[in-house]
Structure formats: structure tokens, C-alpha cells
């Protein structure tokens, strides 16, 4: 009798934002065993390689998804840390890594090079997707998230801490056309925190206060994160 082939194990480069949450969803729906959510925390908040806002919520994602979360501080040598973590995953028997890379060539090239050098397969299911279609697809598929930072003219600060669903997405798309910012925030116009997703066991609730940092620049100062 021929047995079933083993399910291949992957990790997800996870920031807690909408894009890495969607990458996790793709990994699960494609039949992979997701063994780890890898959070690489940069020392430089302006890092081009890793974006991890809302660190207050990181530990909640293990309860939210049922998947172990590993948080690693990169220090000043981000690429070295990335390769070291990919090497560890390979040594632990992982087949590949999923990422939420969307438009950044810098991210995708460096992720690809690190994965290739360590013998891992890299999956970037969002790569070069139509931005407006992607935002609508997220909302229609049951993903909700909130904004943690805003750095673009035209994005209203009342979206910080608010649950972004289909109605809010249409408003964001309309504003992006008017003011010229990227509708999925790939240019850094906003940073997001996932609240719920179709395959999550639970959902997040976030409370905080909006802080104005400068012209068209705001952030949500998180006071409390609850898993419901």
C-alpha cells in the first residue's frame, strides 16, 4: 500500500501586517505545514527589508493562529541575520519560506538570494499583484486589519485603530487616486496590523490613542491588545 507523501513544512516571514497575513493564508491553503511565524525585528525603524509595527501584538499571534512565533532582533546586520535564520530553518528540515513581498525589488531580491544560498524555496504569492484588486480581494475574503501609522497626505487619521473592511477599502482606493499614494501602502504610506483572517482561530482587538507626529504623519499609540 502506497502512503501519502509527507506534507512539506514552511515558515512565514511575518510582520503582523495584512500582507504577511495573506502570505500565511496562501501557505495554508496550498497545503503546507506552517511550522513557524518568523518575525525579524530591525533596529532601524526605517529599514527597507523588514517592517514590524505593532510589536505589542507579536506574541498574540501564536494564540491567534496556533502557530509558534519566533522573534529575532536583527541588529545592524539585517542580511546576515536573515541568512542565519534561513540556515537554521533549513537545518530544522524546512522546505521553504513564504513572504508578503508585494512591489519592493529590494526585499524580493534579498529574500531570494538568502533563500537560494541556504537551499530554501521562496514563495511570494503577492508579487506584482494589482494593488486595487488585491485590497478588494482581502476585504471580500474576510481579512480585516487596522492602520498603525500614516505618512501620506490624503489618508485620514481616523483610520488609525479602525477596522478596515470593504467600505473603508473603497474609500482608501478613492483617496489614493485623488492624492496619488499607493492604495496598498507599499510605498510606506501606512503600516497595518491584521485583526482577523479566515483561518485564524481568534481575532485581535486593539485600543490606543492617535498621536500627530507632523504634517500628514500620525501613529496609533497602542494601549491594549486583546485576543477575542
pLDDT of residue 2: 47
Q: Give the chain's residues under pLDDT 50.
A: 1-2, 4, 48
Q: What is the pLDDT of residue 54?
A: 65
pLDDT confidence of residue 154: 96
Domain locations in the chain as residue ranges? 9-123, 131-227
- Give the distance from CA 192 to its chain's centroid: 8
Which fold, 131-227?
A: putative n-type atp pyrophosphatase, domain 2 (3.90.1490)
Length of the chain, in residues: 228
Question: What's residue 5's pLDDT?
Answer: 57
**What pLDDT sits at residue 1?**
41
Question: 135 near 177, Cβ under 8 Å?
Answer: no
> Which cell is 206 given?
486593539
> What is the CATH T-level fold of the domain 9-123, as seen in this structure?
Rossmann fold (3.40.50)
Residues facing 133 on adjacent strands = none
Record the pTM.
0.92
CA-closest candidate to residue 26, choices 101, 121, 111, 124:
124
Amino acid at each position: 500500500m502506497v502512503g501519502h507523501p509527507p506534507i512539506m513544512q514552511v515558515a512565514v516571514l511575518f510582520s503582523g501586517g495584512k500582507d504577511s497575513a495573506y502570505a500565511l493564508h496562501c501557505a495554508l491553503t496550498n497545503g503546507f505545514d506552517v511550522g513557524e511565524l518568523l518575525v525579524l525585528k530591525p533596529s532601524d525603524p526605517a529599514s527597507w527589508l523588514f517592517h514590524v509595527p505593532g510589536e505589542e501584538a507579536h506574541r498574540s499571534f501564536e494564540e491567534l493562529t496556533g502557530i509558534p512565533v519566533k522573534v529575532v532582533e536583527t541588529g545592524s546586520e539585517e542580511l546576515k541575520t536573515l541568512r542565519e535564520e534561513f540556515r537554521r530553518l533549513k537545518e530544522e528540515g524546512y522546505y521553504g519560506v513564504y513572504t508578503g513581498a508585494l512591489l519592493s525589488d529590494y526585499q524580493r531580491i534579498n529574500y531570494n538570494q538568502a533563500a537560494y544560498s541556504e537551499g530554501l524555496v521562496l514563495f511570494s504569492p503577492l508579487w506584482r499583484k494589482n494593488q486595487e484588486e488585491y485590497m478588494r480581494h482581502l476585504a471580500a475574503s474576510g481579512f480585516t486589519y487596522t492602520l498603525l501609522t500614516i505618512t501620506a497626505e490624503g489618508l485620514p487619521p481616523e483610520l488609525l485603530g479602525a477596522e478596515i473592511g470593504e467600505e473603508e477599502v473603497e474609500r482608501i482606493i478613492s483617496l489614493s487616486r485623488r492624492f496619488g499614494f499607493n492604495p496598498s501602502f507599499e510605498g510606506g504610506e501606512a503600516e497595518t496590523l491584521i485583526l482577523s483572517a479566515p483561518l485564524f482561530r481568534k481575532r485581535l482587538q486593539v485600543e490606543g490613542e492617535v498621536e500627530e507626529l507632523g504634517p500628514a504623519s500620525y501613529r496609533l499609540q497602542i494601549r491594549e491588545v486583546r485576543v477575542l
